Amino acid sequence: MSAAIEIPYVSRERPDTGLYNARLGVWLFLASEVMLFGALFSTYVLLRTGAETWPSGAEILNVPLATLNTFVLIGSSVTMVMSWASLQMQNFARFRLFLGLTLLCGLIFLVAKGFEYHEHLVHAELPSHSTFFAIYFVMTGLHGLHVVVGLIVNGYLWGPGAKMWRTDPTRFTNRIEVAGLYWHFVDLVWIFLFPTLYLLPGK
Amino acid sequence: MDTHHHAERHDELPFWRRYIFSTDHKVIGIQYGLTALTFLFFGFCLIMLMRWQLAYPGKALPIGFLTRWLGDARMPGGVMAPEFYNQLGAMHGTIMIFLGVVPLAVGAFGNYLVPLQIGAQDMAFPKLNMSSYWVYFVGGVVMLCSFFVPGGSAQSGWTSYPPLAVVNPTVSHSLFTGQALWLTGMVFLITSSLLGSINTITTIVQLRAKGLTWMRLPFFVWAQLVTAFLLLLAFPPLEAAGIMQLMDRLASTSFFLPSGLVVGGKALNVSGGGSALLWQHLFWFLAHPEVYVLILPAMGIVAEVIANNTRKPLWGYKSLVYSVIFLGFMSFIVWAHHMFLTGMGTTINAFFQTTTMIISIPSIIILTALILSLWGGSIRFTVPMLFALAFLPMFGIGGLTGLPLGLASADIHLHDTYYVIGHFHYVVAPGTLFALFAGIYYWFPKVTGRKMNDALGRLHFWGSLICMNGVFMPMFIQGLAGVSRRLYDGGASYLHAEHVLILNKVMSHSAWALGVIQLIFIVNFLWSLFAGRKVESDNPWEATTLEWATPTPPPHGNFLAVPAVYRGPYEYSVPGSKHGFLPQHQPEEA
Amino acid sequence: MNAHGTESVHKQAKIYKIVGGVLFAATAATVAAAEWHHLGITLGIFVAVLIAVFKGSLVARYFMHLSAERKLIYWVLALTAFFFVAMIALILWTHGDQQGQPHGIFTTPPRAAQPAATRN
């Protein structure tokens, strides 16, 4: 009567919904994240339309570095989905390689971001300087925080978490898929953040 | 294979893993329940204190030890300081909503009952469930700590409108100010809610028992499902706004600070260019769906109790389901009816007025269906049923008084008056709280194996009903007379309020009497836990839904055998049935 | 979902790389487009958003397998998208339609010039 309980549909899919639990869970989480970043985009729009003047990214941000970062993050999305595909092909070594590359790209992204921030701070371009910098730091900062969390999760799955491949490969593959969905979302947010902050013309 | 790594037997777990850091939804539900009830009582104490100042403005509180403990900063000479009054006001609202009602309605009732009512062994993500509770707990502690920092707790209303909230009581870049801790606490509470809502939705979608189709779900589960979606999609914008206001306070940004602000005679050293209205939009984008988060679980509880105590199926089950879904959807596009007086133009005002009028329709359908469910019923006036029955007219008053507020032109007179306070308290206090009491009396036997004392329950009910109306009905009168809310002296310095000032004393004395009556409930609750009459059956109310098909109290894993469902949730008084009702999990009778 | 044969996974892997290439190209395009100042503000914003939406849909469709996903997920996302759009649109609408201004929906009302929005 007090044996450990078994939650169904952790690995296999429930027939009528076609989903395993974590896949539904992560999509619900991503929906809430859409609303979170959506509120920040609303803020950007409102602050910009209410402002007399608004700088273009080219004037005050490091567009080349951010462009590089965009390539890096997109690349990490490719390697992330490739790591999941490798597991589906039962190739654990390739999975490790691709997930490792994903981690590396993520780290490069953060280092570049850190460099960008540092440049702004030493030139007294603080969030308090203007509403542009305020929304710039909050949007990229929150995004960066999401990158950090993604790296921690992916790092765990690359390291100690990978033991599950031997005991429960289906469940482990699902975990990589779920982590991948989160990581792609982080990439997706940046795909919108980058042009909004760095490329839009000023006024 | 769906196995755990460590399939420990549950009864072999050490105490701290079985009762403190448990992943069992029932333990977590009880944790939420006890914590939330404590916060509800504390929040109520805050308002009882405030009501002294409102009834006897400028007079010293005649409770010596309390004024001494609160100290000279808060109660100089025993008289409430205006800043302390504001703190009590802001924290009463915050605590009641975010630390009291929602954790009780969603965290406690939702967590405990949803897996049971759908025939599952636990929630879909038990560890996430445990985290949700502890994140809520931390958020609560942060909120309580805010009373003890220099300057006191948040004191700009639970609505925290900038620019005031950013500069109140002083411009400070410290995290250890009341408002900054409020914002931090909110981030924790929002995170807790988000994690919980993901769990609830996934559980309901994925873990329903065999045969439990969507239209066989108890209405309580539907209500919790819609509520979870509201929390999932409406909370994040407030989280974003909270982060931005925190930045405004700590990092001198100007998200919400317009240019040219002068505070205390000094120009504020910020960039300006921000929008105070932006905060209001992002805040109310959450806070309007939030009020449906407050009422929907209550409607779910009332539906269960009414069906059980009329011994007949609910009237209009389909209408209830479609209405609650439509209500949830509409709740996202009505928020600016809280902003009618911010200078919005007539077109946009008309838009929000229209959506607000439309949203009253599903609300009325739900109330009507519940009322019609009584017709032809064989009504048992049990204590839960008394509370559920009272919910109907009380929520009716609350809902109807919302209509003039939703009309932009009438709102010009009523906005920010006591009329508003009366309106929402009717919905939440003799509305939601009564439903929650009904739920506690109703499910107490399943959770504990004992019944609460009947006589004390009836005393609690009648006393609360009378006193609630004593507290909140006069508010409509004061509001219509033009008495503003959040006034330190309750309107004493305004000529137009003179003839309704006496009502302040009526309301305060009713509130204090209400407080005394809740002691009856607390005594009953605690006493019944240990010495209440044990129930003889696993299904003492003769109910049809799945939570009554478990042992009492339900063990880890809930059901002795995996249940299957054969019929809808309210098959009462079925002709030819052996016991006069057919539980959902019972196969057809031979 | 794990019933994919290894062959089809190989095909999928090829598609991922192709999509990655397209995303790189689109990124280069959007940076280049930002240099065309003669586009003007409105068109510039429109082009940037268009390319971002294109890139985003590729990520969603192929990397996140949204094209093969279940109806339930579509509904959740459609609902979210609706509320996201409604939030931005309605906030903008209230900004444009203010008391005392000519009825301007989605326009920037003329305002008393605020002091320059920078902090010294």
User: Mean pLDDT for chain C?
Assistant: 84
Residue type at position B240 = A
Closest CA to A198 of A70, A61, A44, A65: A61
- B573 lies in some domain: no
Q: Mean per-residue pLDDT for B501-519?
A: 98
Distance between CA atoms of B444 and B521, rounded to whole angstroms?
Answer: 13
Tell me, what's the pLDDT at B589?
Answer: 65
- B261 lies in some domain: no
Tell me, what's the pLDDT at C104?
Answer: 52
Tell me, what's the pLDDT at B323?
Answer: 98
* Residues of chain A neighbouring C86 (CB-CB closer than 8 A): none
Residues of chain C with pLDDT under 70: 1-6, 102-120
Tell me, what's the pLDDT at C3?
Answer: 45
Q: Which of A52, A57, A200 sits opposite C114 (nearest CB)?
A: A52
DSSP category for residue B157: T
Tell me, what's the pLDDT at C35?
Answer: 87
More confident residue, A2 or B19: B19
Q: How confident is the model at residue B9 (pLDDT cuts 50, 70, 90)?
A: low
Given the DSSP bridges, would you call strands B533-534 and B450-451 parallel, antiparallel or unpaired?
antiparallel
Q: Are B483 and B500 in contact (CB under 8 A)?
A: yes
List the beta bridge partners of residue B450. Answer: B534
Phi, psi of B253 (to 5 degrees): -75, 175
Q: Are B129 and B110 in contact (CB under 8 A)?
A: no
- Mutation site, B201, B205, B216, interface A, largest A CB count within 10 A: B205
Q: Are B565 and B216 in contact (CB under 8 A)?
A: yes
Q: Which of B252-256, B309-313, C10-14, C110-114 has the lowest mean pLDDT?
A: C110-114
Q: Mean per-residue pLDDT for B506-520?
A: 98
* Residues of chain C neighbouring B197 (CB-CB closer than 8 A): none
Distance of residue B455 Cα from the nearest chain C Cα, in angstroms: 48
Tell me, what's the pLDDT at B16?
Answer: 86
Residue A25 clears pLDDT 80, i.e. is over it: yes
- B577 lies in some domain: no
A19/C59 Cβ within 8 A: no
* Residues of chain B neighbouring C70 (CB-CB closer than 8 A): none
Q: Mean per-residue pLDDT for B385-412?
A: 97
Q: How confident is the model at residue B537 (pLDDT cuts 50, 70, 90)?
A: very high
Tell me, what's the pLDDT at C111?
Answer: 55
> Tokens standing for B80?
């409430």
Q: Which residue has the tokens 């007179």?
A: B413
| Start-to-end Cα distance in chain C | 58
A28/B285 Cβ within 8 A: no
Cα–Cα separations (whole angstroms), residue B28 to B10, B256, B309: 15, 38, 28
Q: How confident is the model at residue B2 (pLDDT cuts 50, 70, 90)?
A: very low
| Per-residue pLDDT tens digits for B557-566 | 999 988 999 9
A21/B253 Cβ within 8 A: no
DSSP category for residue B450: E
Distance of residue C120 Cα from the nearest chain B Cα, in angstroms: 8
Q: What is the ipTM of this complex?
A: 0.95
B332/C83 Cβ within 8 A: yes
∠ CA C85-C86-C92 to the nearest 5 degrees? 95
3-state secondary structure (DSSP) of residue B571: coil
| Per-residue pLDDT tens digits for A61-94 | 999 999 999 999 999 999 999 999 999 999 999 9
- B565 lies in some domain: no
Q: Mean per-residue pLDDT for A102-117?
A: 98
> Tokens standing for A68?
């590089």
| Per-residue pLDDT tens digits for B148-164 | 999 999 999 999 999 99
Q: Are A183 and A80 in contact (CB under 8 A)?
A: yes
Phi, psi of B344 (to 5 degrees): -70, 150
Tell me, what's the pLDDT at C2?
Answer: 45
Residue B3 clears pLDDT 50, i.e. is over it: no
Q: Are B386 and B463 in contact (CB under 8 A)?
A: no
| Per-residue pLDDT tens digits for B427-469 | 999 999 999 999 999 999 999 999 999 999 999 999 999 999 9
Residue B314 clears pLDDT 50, i.e. is over it: yes
Q: Which option is the CATH number for A32-44+60-199: 2.60.40.1190, 1.20.120.80, 2.170.150.70, 1.10.10.10?
A: 1.20.120.80
Q: Which residue has the tokens 């931090």?
A: B184
Residue A36 clears pLDDT 50, i.e. is over it: yes
| Per-residue pLDDT tens digits for B46-57 | 999 999 999 999
Domain span at residue B145? 19-255+272-549
Distance of residue C99 Cα from the nearest chain A Cα, in angstroms: 16
Is A5 touching C (CB cutoff 8 A)? Answer: no
> Tokens standing for B100?
């009291």
B2/A1 Cβ within 8 A: no
More confident residue, B390 or C120: B390
- Neighbour subunits, C (≥3 Cβ pairs < 8 A): A, B
∠ CA B178-B183-B184 to the nearest 5 degrees? 95
Q: Are B101 and B41 in contact (CB under 8 A)?
A: no
Distance between CA atoms of B171 and B483, rounded to whole angstroms?
Answer: 30
C17/A52 Cβ within 8 A: no
Tell me, what's the pLDDT at B283?
Answer: 97
User: Mean pLDDT for chain B?
Assistant: 95
Distance of residue A89 Cα from the nearest chain B Cα, in angstroms: 20
Tell me, what's the pLDDT at C100?
Answer: 79
| Per-residue pLDDT tens digits for B326-360 | 999 999 999 999 999 999 999 999 999 999 999 99
Q: Are B472 and B429 in contact (CB under 8 A)?
A: yes
* Residues of chain B neighbouring C99 (CB-CB closer than 8 A): 343-346
* Residues of chain B neighbouring A28 (CB-CB closer than 8 A): 197-198, 201-202, 232
Tell me, what's the pLDDT at C6?
Answer: 67
Instruction: Kindly give, in sequence order, each residue whose CB lies less than 8 Å from that of residue B526, ignoring residues fewer than 6 positions away.
Output: none
| Per-residue pLDDT tens digits for B277-301 | 999 999 999 999 999 999 999 999 9
Q: Mean per-residue pLDDT for B382-402?
A: 98
Distance of residue B221 Cα from the nearest chain C Cα, in angstroms: 18
* Residues of chain C neighbouring A17 (CB-CB closer than 8 A): 70, 72
| Per-residue pLDDT tens digits for A162-182 | 999 999 999 999 999 999 999
List the beta bridge partners of residue B344. Answer: C98
Residue B120 clears pLDDT 60, i.e. is over it: yes
Q: Which residue has the tokens 């009762």?
A: B19
Residue B4 clears pLDDT 50, i.e. is over it: no
Nearest CA in chain B to C83: B332
> Tokens standing for B518?
């809740």
- B243 lies in some domain: yes
